[in-house]
Amino acid sequence: MTAPSSLDDTLDGTPDETPVTEDGDRGSARRFGTLVVAAAVVVGLLLGYAGGMLTPRLTRPGDASVEAGFARDMTSHHSQAVEMGLIAFQRGTDPEVRSIGGDIALAQQGDIGTMQTWLRSWELDPTGSQPRMAWMPEGIRMVRNGLMPGMATTEQMTRLREAQGRELDVLFLDLMIQHHIGGIHMVDALLDASDEPDVVRAAQTMKNTQQTELVNLQSALKRIRG
């Protein structure tokens, strides 16, 4: 038996076995009811597709949203950590310091890629119109000389770039511990304010990773300092 090729074929090819006698009105009612059901299915499908396409546009974070502010600011925060991690990986003298530095650089560069993808998917620019940390309660007050919580100063970064041997290892660990503490504080603020599932999930992963790294950083510093 050949299967019907479409919904129309199914409806049109089904014989109406209701006799058109004094029950003719009943047969017409059945045909009308079938058409109404078919129309409802089509309308339902169209509404479903429309909802699937429109919902992300209606609910995506805006330029001044918590999510956009977090993505922009944490990208800058992470960028400094990537540089610090690469310095430790390339020039550290302690094997654990080199390993931690490489892991941090790799993980945070991956996070940067994720956050920049969010901004592109939300059709937002990498930089916004809001002041740095404006998305976070009391956040603007936490910015010191243009630096977000935990970030190293220009002078500290210069010292790290020029340091050698054990001095480099200790300075990297000191700076990265503060950097992670500040970053975790920013993630906590995002988790308190956002209900975007993808953003919350990624931010929680960032926090978990940094908390684990923080323990390793503190342990390595204690060991090296004796």
* Same domain, yes or no: 146 and 80: yes
Flag whether 1 is in a domain.
no
Q: What is the pLDDT of residue 31?
A: 53
**Residues 171 and 208: beta-carbon distance below 8 Å:** no
CATH number at residue 72: 1.20.1260.10
Q: Is the model more confident about 120 or about 48?
A: 120
pLDDT band at 6 (very low <50, low <70, confident <90, very high): very low
Q: Which two tokens stand for residue 206?
A: 């960032």
Determine the structural domain holding residue 16 and report its residue range: 7-57
* Same domain, yes or no: 42 and 148: no
Average pLDDT of the segment spanning 163-184: 98
* Same domain, yes or no: 94 and 42: no
* Same domain, yes or no: 127 and 143: yes
The whole-angstrom separation of Cα 79 and Cα 108 is 8
Contacts of 152 (CB under 8 A, 6+ apart): 80, 84, 160, 175, 178, 179
Q: Is the model more confident about 211 or about 44?
A: 211
Q: What is the mean pLDDT of the chain?
A: 83
Could you give the 3-state DSSP secondary structure of residue 6? coil
Q: Does residue 19 register a pLDDT over 70?
A: no
* Same domain, yes or no: 33 and 121: no
**Residues 86 and 101: beta-carbon distance below 8 Å:** yes
Flag whether 130 is in a domain.
yes
What DSSP letter does each residue of 67-101 carry, written as one string?
HHHHHHHHHHHHHHHHHHHHHHHHH-SSHHHHHHH
Q: Is the model more confident about 9 or about 224?
A: 224
Q: What percent of the chain has pLDDT over 70?
A: 74
Q: How many C-beta neighbours within 10 Å does residue 175 have?
A: 24
Domain count, the chain: 2
Could you give the 3-state DSSP secondary structure of residue 115? helix
Q: What confidence tens digit (pLDDT) does each residue in 79-134 have?
A: 999 999 999 999 999 999 999 999 999 999 999 999 999 999 999 999 998 999 99
Output phi, psi for 145, to 5 deg: 55, 40
What DSSP letter does each residue of 143-171 carry, written as one string?
-BTTB-TTPPPHHHHHHHHH--HHHHHHH
* Same domain, yes or no: 149 and 202: yes
* Same domain, yes or no: 116 and 87: yes
Q: Which two tokens stand for residue 56?
A: 């992300």
Q: Does residue 66 register a pLDDT over 60?
A: yes
* Same domain, yes or no: 71 and 172: yes
Average pLDDT of the segment spanning 120-149: 94
The whole-angstrom separation of Cα 186 and Cα 106 is 20
pLDDT band at 35 (very low <50, low <70, confident <90, very high): low
